[in-house]
A = this chain, B = another copy of it.
């Protein structure tokens, strides 16, 4: 680690602690080793995707104070690849001088979707109108007005914890948990911008990307970088994303999801205080990938250039419903025969319905070609399993 503020590092450059050993942690470990850091991963599953490449994993739960303490105290700086972790222990460690980024208090604000929206609103960041609904009742839904989006305050991920209700007849599909109700926004496009902010306040925005979702599912289906929007809208979206991260005084990388409404307004949908599925394309397509950028930010190294080298499309590789056990990959050979296709598997030992098993990025000088190729890959690659559950 560095000798004070001079530019001298005794190897390793930093020992990084990562809470969560999934695919985000795995890709972060690879970037960390590249820039001269070592990593320890905390994850309940032995030989987790990140643990497989870090060479050092603490097997433990994200909510176990002792495990969190062991991780944080064995490292120079700690971070996380998931949000559903115990922030009280982390906040306590942070107050006692341990370096944890983004800071646990900010993570606590973001974990709770109601507080997140309150914080953004107080900072003047435009977002869809909302009310708290701690004890969901039909009358309150009716009074707020349909169509609406009900979001569980905690634990949502990849579309879990979000319910779109079009009318009072759909109230029986509501989530019986403390929630917020949000005005349903007829969006022209869903956009996202990765923003990195350093400890010194330096801030960098990545290109604006366009996210497609399959009807009825909330897992990212097809991502296009850059988004097919006018230059002035892209500039406004980057500005809004930067304002959002600056208003939070966040350190690290953040995924800012935006709605571009039919009347041309930009609204912040959600902020992820971490590397993000919508930023995977940066590995191939940008000068500095989101994982290295995050590590540069949290270790106090200078941020890297975010220039797009070539347009890209990305799809997730999800486990096909109806299968479990050891993954079986169909169509890989056919997919790799398409020029510009890069596959990323996450090393998960077993598949499951809609489980994220990997992703594919396609580079092409023409974004429409990249999209078409990514759609072909989506049709070609199927992930089944050796078992039927």
Contacts and interface: CB of A to CB of B under 8 A. Distances in A.
B52 A13 contact: no
A173 interface: no
Contacts of A11: 326-329, 345, 349
Contact of A55 (B53, B330, B334): B53
Nearest to A386: B10
Contacts of A345: 11, 13, 33-36
Contact of A339 (B8, B13, B304): B304
Contacts of A302: 333, 336-337
Contact of A331 (B7, B47, B307, B336): B7
A33 B10 contact: no
A310 B308 CA distance: 10
A321 interface: no
A363 interface: yes
A301 B336 contact: yes
A47 B38 CA distance: 13
Given A327-B11, A340-B305, A332 B36 contact: yes
A100 interface: no
Contacts of A310: 309
Copies of this protein in the assembly total 2
Contact of A36 (B55, B329, B342): B329
Contact of A9 (B30, B53, B328, B358): B328
B53 A33 contact: yes
Contacts of A8: 328-330
Interface residues of A, number: 51
Contacts of A358: 36
Nearest to A363: B287
A262 interface: no
A251 B310 CA distance: 30
Interface string A270-296: 000000000000001001100010001
A344 interface: yes
A100 to B, nearest CB: 21
Given A10-B328, A36-B345, A287 B55 contact: no
B339 A305 contact: yes
A319 to B, nearest CB: 11
Nearest to A330: B8
Contacts of A349: 11
Most-contacted residue by chain B among A36, A55, A386 (CB, 10 A): A36
A165 interface: no
Contacts of A47: 55
A347 interface: yes
Nearest to A328: B10
A343 interface: yes
A240 interface: no
A190 B386 CA distance: 52
A341 interface: yes
Nearest to A56: B52
Interface in A330-372: 330-334, 336-337, 339-345, 347, 349, 358, 363
9 contacts: A9-B332, A10-B329, A11-B327, A33-B345, A34-B342, A38-B347, A284-B287, A302-B337, A309-B363
Given A10-B329, A301-B332, 16 more contacts: A7-B333, A10-B328, A11-B349, A33-B52, A33-B53, A34-B343, A34-B345, A36-B329, A36-B332, A55-B55, A287-B339, A287-B342, A287-B363, A304-B341, A305-B339, A309-B309
Interface of A: 7-11, 13, 30, 33-36, 38, 47, 52-53, 55, 284, 287-288, 292, 296, 301-302, 304-305, 307, 309-310, 326-334, 336-337, 339-345, 347, 349, 358, 363, 386
